[in-house]
Amino acid sequence: MIIKDKSDISENEVTEKSLYLSRRDFIKKTTLTAAALSAGFVFVPNAHGGFDIVKKTDTTGGEKITKEIAAKSYNNFYEFTTSKGDVKDLAADFPTDPWEIEVTGLVKKPLKFSVDEVKRFAGTQERIYRLRCVEGWSMVIPWNGFSLSELVKKCEPLSSAKYIQFVTKLDKEHMPGARSNVLEWPYMEGLRMDEAMNPLAMLVFGMYGGELPNQNGAPVRVIVPWKYGFKSIKSIVRIVFTDKQPSTSWNIAAPDEYGFYANVNPQVDHPRWSQARERRIGSFGKIDTKPFNGYADQVAHLYKGMDLSRFF
């Protein structure tokens, strides 16, 4: 690192132009502080030096939040590697700007959105969600984004659209894992329309009050907290509305192990291990796994009358 004498430091290096230009916007926003706080909103810094109004919700009943360093360095992202501890380093140079999300299928008009456009669809919220991996470990993470239903509404799906398929970016140059045959690429996931419209399903572009890191699915991903983690697809570039149940990567790879629904169910074991208990990252020992990951009150009605040992 080069340390300059004060006389050698230019005005541009002292204050970035973007911070200077955001000052008037910052002043306007801070006048809303009292009213916003009384309505259950908080302020968090954004990348431009101002503050965004964020509605904060803890869906866990006050469970201990996973340490940020753990959540950002223990990751499943097979496009980079199957080694959870190595994803962060391998994803460091993954390019996420510019980025577009293409919408196709049963919609009134096919569309393309930039990530910045997506962020303006609805007010940003912070939601603390449990995330349970099919492998038996879990975390509690504050995510930043808004309900996936807001994006779905913007896409204006036809009444015949019953499912949504999501597709991850395929970039073999920057994703070394995608050069392997671990899965069929690109990575694909899907939801039934009523699942996607449930308020808990979340479109995410940040965590812990900051931008979403590459290893966690930058620049935009989905979080479906009542399902196993592999349903919460990362780095989305395409959304397809369809009238048929879409193909999903893990269901293609091992249909006897990974069903389309992937609801957290402690009574249905994975063929190679029990799902009854889980290891919370950052804590000792194991805890009992909750049906639907603890969100049964909000989502169990979606599966009324279904045999969840068959539709797993």
* 193 touches 225 (CB < 8 A): no
Task: Compute the CA torsion angle 6, 9, 13, 15 (nearest 10 deg).
Answer: 50
Domain made up of 59-303: CATH architecture: Alpha-Beta Complex (3.90)
pLDDT in tens, 80-98: 999 999 999 999 999 999 9
Owner of token pair 């503050």: 51
pLDDT in tens, 27-72: 444 444 444 444 444 545 555 443 365 789 999 999 999 999 999 9
- The residues spanned by each domain of the chain are 17-50, 59-303
Strand partners, 41: 55
Predicted confidence (pLDDT) at residue 237 exceeds the cutoff of 60: yes
d(CA 290, CA 267): 10
Mean pLDDT of all residues in 245-259: 97
Structure pTM? Answer: 0.84
d(CA 197, CA 202): 9
| Alpha carbon 174 to its chain's center | 20
pLDDT in tens, 285-311: 999 999 999 999 999 999 999 999 999
Percentage of the chain lying above the pLDDT 70 cut: 83
Q: Phi/psi zone of residue 40: left (φ > 0), alpha (ψ -120 to 50 degrees), beta?
A: left
Owner of token pair 């989905």: 222
- Give the residue, 30 or 200, on which the prediction is more confident: 200
HSE, side-chain direction, 13 A CA sphere, residue 205: 25
